[in-house]
Amino acid sequence: MFSLKFGGTSMGSANAISQTAQIIINHPEKDKVVTVSAMSGVTNLLLSAAECATKTDKICYKNYLQEIEEKHILALGELVKDETLYTEGAEFIKTRISGLSGFLHALTVIGEVSPRSNDEIVSLGEILSAKLLSLHLQDLGKKSEFISLENIVSEMFDEDHISADKQFFECFSQKLGKLLIPLLEENITPICTGFFGKIPGGIVATVGRGYSDFTAALVGKACNAQEIQIWTDVSGILSTDPRIVKDAHVIGELSFNEATELANLGAKVIHPQTIWPAVKDNILVRIKNTMAPKDLGSAITKLGKNSNYSFKSITVQKDITVLTVRSTDMSESGILANLFQTFSDFNVSIDLVSTSESSISVTIQNGHKNLTNLITKLEEKYLVEIIHNKSIIAIVGSEMLHNIGVAGRFFTSIANANINVKMISQGANESNISAVISGKDANRAVQVVHSEFFAK
């Protein structure tokens, strides 16, 4: 059994959905469960509608909902020719849009969107796209069933007593298995929503907008999948961002640890949370290209495979702020614990950390809403320096464990391009090295490092 996940570009239009359906039909594996994201742009439209509702602008949010309805009705007309199936789809779309309109109307009175309300709004995108794909497959004469996972959590637990721990996900996987395996036994292909229900803190806020990757991984775990395939718009994980370096190449195989490092350091192909269920059950994850289905893609395995290069990939994170906290005695007992607790209290995530005898520097994303309050709190005890508009360039790969001089070449290539390094951090497992540089130098730094290590 394979778990297949198709992202927003794979579901972006009627033509894209048709191509996705052909991939499903022609897939060599008979048993497969499909998980989908919303059509391209729909999540942004839904978030805009929610923002309008909080401003009590009824006309504004209704305009967004009308645009969403028209987009899906138009796609339905292109994808479904059978009159009965078309009528079912049109009624489904209109009913769901009407339901959300009533929900948003209620929010105009409340004036704010809670994390759970936000989930309720955003989930509509995947519900509509999954229904479209399922109806299209049925229209082509294939056995398929639309599966909405939006209520699966509330059917299992009292939402107020859910903890997002391993026990929860074990129970969740068992519930998924009981739902999906009987369909597979009848040769029916389930088409699931990426959204799997409201959880405390909100799934978007807790996991992020890439949560459908995580859902596909949980489906893979639940159904004892041989492989989890993430279908996107690139032919795998690349040596760097192809928008910056045109001759970036596909990485054939990498380890779970390397993929996690890349995801956490800014690679957008796969969601970091996706890796956990796969690691636990040792399920191969493969990144595939919807537009080039015959490409092999990138395989993510437990141990990975060393490449012929000094490392596997270069990532870049832009719009970074560096905070440097200074104290007369950084060796004071508990100072690091207190600092990190302060960041946690203001819900500010730290990317990199670098320490010295008198200071500690950390990086966070620019423009964090709690940044001003965090700095005010830190300044009660420490001297704080803030530098905005920085970027993080990182090299990732287990090959560094066995290659002498990689760090020297990395920093020399940056220095030869007359790019100054503000901060350095190396992972404890010696599989990544990161450098903080000026934001204006980010693309050029990636280009010179890629040329140094990957030029043929």
Residue 211 has pLDDT above 90, yes or no: no
Higher pLDDT, 183 or 328: 183
Model pLDDT, residue 281: 85
In angstroms, rounded to a whole number, what is the distance separating the alpha carbons of residues 195 and 213?
10
**Predicted model pTM:** 0.85
**Residues 396-400, mean pLDDT to the nearest whole number:** 92
**Residues 162-190, mean pLDDT to the nearest whole number:** 81
Q: What 3-state DSSP class applies to 148?
A: coil
Model pLDDT, residue 240: 94
Which of 172-176, 305-309, 406-410 has the least mean pLDDT?
172-176
Which of 71-85, 141-155, 239-253 has the least mean pLDDT?
141-155
Per-range mean pLDDT, top range of 85-94, 186-195, 318-327, 391-400: 85-94
Nearest to 365 by CA among 378, 350, 353: 350
In angstroms, rounded to a whole number, what is the distance separating the alpha carbons of residues 215 and 230?
11
Residues 126 and 212: beta-carbon distance below 8 Å? yes
Higher pLDDT, 277 or 441: 441
Residues 42 and 98: beta-carbon distance below 8 Å? no
Where are the strands (E) in 90-245, listed by range?
A: 144-147, 189-193, 227-232
In angstroms, rounded to a whole number, what is the distance separating the alpha carbons of residues 162 and 181?
25
Share of the chain above pLDDT 90, in %: 57
Residue 131 has pLDDT above 80, yes or no: yes
Nearest to 126 by CA among 42, 31, 25, 56: 42
Which of 2-6, 68-72, 404-408 has the least mean pLDDT?
404-408
274 pLDDT tier (thresholds 50, 70, 90): confident
162 pLDDT tier (thresholds 50, 70, 90): very low
Fill in the DSSP letter of residue 234: S
**Residues 304-317, mean pLDDT to the nearest whole number:** 92
The mean pLDDT of the chain is: 88
Residues 430 and 453: beta-carbon distance below 8 Å? no
Model pLDDT, residue 132: 98
Model pLDDT, residue 166: 54
pLDDT digits 0-9 by tens, 60-74: 899 999 999 999 999
Model pLDDT, residue 154: 64
What are the chain's domains? 2-232 (3.40.1160.10), 313-454 (3.30.2130.10)
Model pLDDT, residue 244: 95
pLDDT digits 0-9 by tens, 43-53: 999 989 988 88
List helix spans (H) across 111-146: 115-139
Model pLDDT, residue 409: 95
In angstroms, rounded to a whole number, what is the distance separating the alpha carbons of residues 145 and 131?
8
Q: Which H helix or E strand runs over 389?
A: strand 383-396
The amino acid present at 286, given as its one-letter code, is R
